Amino acid sequence: MLLIINLDARQDRRAFMDRSCVAPLRAIKTDVAYVRAVAASEAASAQSLSSFELDESKLEALLDAWHSSGCEAVARSGLERYYLRPVSNEEKACTRSHRLAWQKAKEAMREDADLKWVLIVEDDCVPCLHPAAESQWSAFYGPAWQVAWRHIAKAMESCGEDFDFVYVGRHRLGPEDESDAVVRPAGFSSCLHAYCVTRQGCDRLLEKSANVLLVPADDLVPALCGTHPRKDLLSTKEPLRAGCLQRDVLFQLQSIALPGDDVYSISQSSIEPPEMRSMRQELWRHPSLWLERKDILTLRCCGREPLKSLNDASAWRRVVLICVEIKFQAPHAIDVSTASARWRGG
């Protein structure tokens, strides 16, 4: 079973998932359902963990703990921007939305004794990171979703009940033991755009997060696993067992800038520093959803850097076209050759 978290207000994303994911998976007899996400306005009154907002005097200690534990290098400015602030309403809403997904997964497994795990994804999830125009969403992403689903199903069958949940897409931030196992233990990781919850994992996630003050979901889960460098977020005597695949199968396009996205809020909710000069002067991270196919082909031919980024799946999340003095416009109004030349020129 697949559960997709989606806001009522984001019918554009629902349309994207319907055509790229839902229809192709239902065609191979996969149960797919949507989970109504909590809106930021609905979560505004929910109480968050006040100590999430770190005192500046404790930042150096966190930076030391972060790096001494072997976590991926991060700049002080990244931790400062992310942790020297309170939990946002959007983050509170995101955490509550994931809890709703866990509840729905538990209900589904209670009704179906043969259902051992559920895949939960956010509505910005794709099985590959190469460009596809809107007219090609179904034909391009559909077969890839079917392949990804079969791969995930086989992996989950192999691990039995060894894990409470399994990342099938993530940002690996901490060290972990390398293993040849199809599913292996995961270290400190971020991003909940795609993961599987097992039957016992659902129960444990709901139980351990039931009376916890809200923190960002990307901090909550690793804290529950005991892998988060910030041990002050919460304490757990019996950490959750997190697993991961050898390679990511599903990827996040959270910053593809579908119309209506709040790009500034997105950037504030990430430890990774935004790679841009001005939020209003850029096309975010996945130009295929803004530019026509002919424009993508133009970019492929206009220099080494665009070519490298467009051909490298791991670089797609960092594709940024800076259009200096060009305001955010509809795709047909953008002078791609100008943007390309400025990118090529550095």
What residues have CB less than 8 Å from 240, skipping those under 6 apart?
164, 165, 201, 204, 205, 208, 221, 224, 225, 226
pLDDT exceeds cutoff 90 at 281: no
Mean pLDDT of 14-43: 95
What confidence score (pLDDT) does residue 296 get?
47
Where do runs of H (alpha helix) occur along the chain?
11-17, 23-26, 40-43, 59-68, 76-83, 89-111, 137-159, 199-209, 217-225, 263-268, 293-300, 304-311, 336-344
Report the pLDDT value the prediction gives residue 171, as an integer from 0 to 100.
86
* pLDDT above 70 for 275: no
**In the prediction, which pLDDT does 79 show?**
86
Return the residue matching tokens 């351990």.
Answer: 208
pLDDT mean over 333-340:
36
Residue 325 has pLDDT above 80, yes or no: no
Q: What is the pLDDT of residue 272?
A: 45
At 139 the pLDDT is: 86
Instruction: Report the pLDDT averaged over residues 73-79.
Output: 81
- Say how far apart CA 297 and CA 210 lie, in whole Å: 50
pLDDT band for position 271 (cuts 50, 70, 90): very low
Q: Which pLDDT tens digit goes with each residue over 175-209?
A: 888 888 899 999 999 889 999 999 999 999 999 99
Q: Is the pLDDT of residue 346 over 70?
A: no
% of the chain at pLDDT higher than 70: 72
Distance CA 3, CA 7 (A): 13
What contacts 208, CB < 8 A, 6 or more positions away?
Answer: 224, 236, 240
What is the average pLDDT across 274-287? 38
Range ranked top by mean pLDDT from 50-54, 172-176, 298-302: 50-54
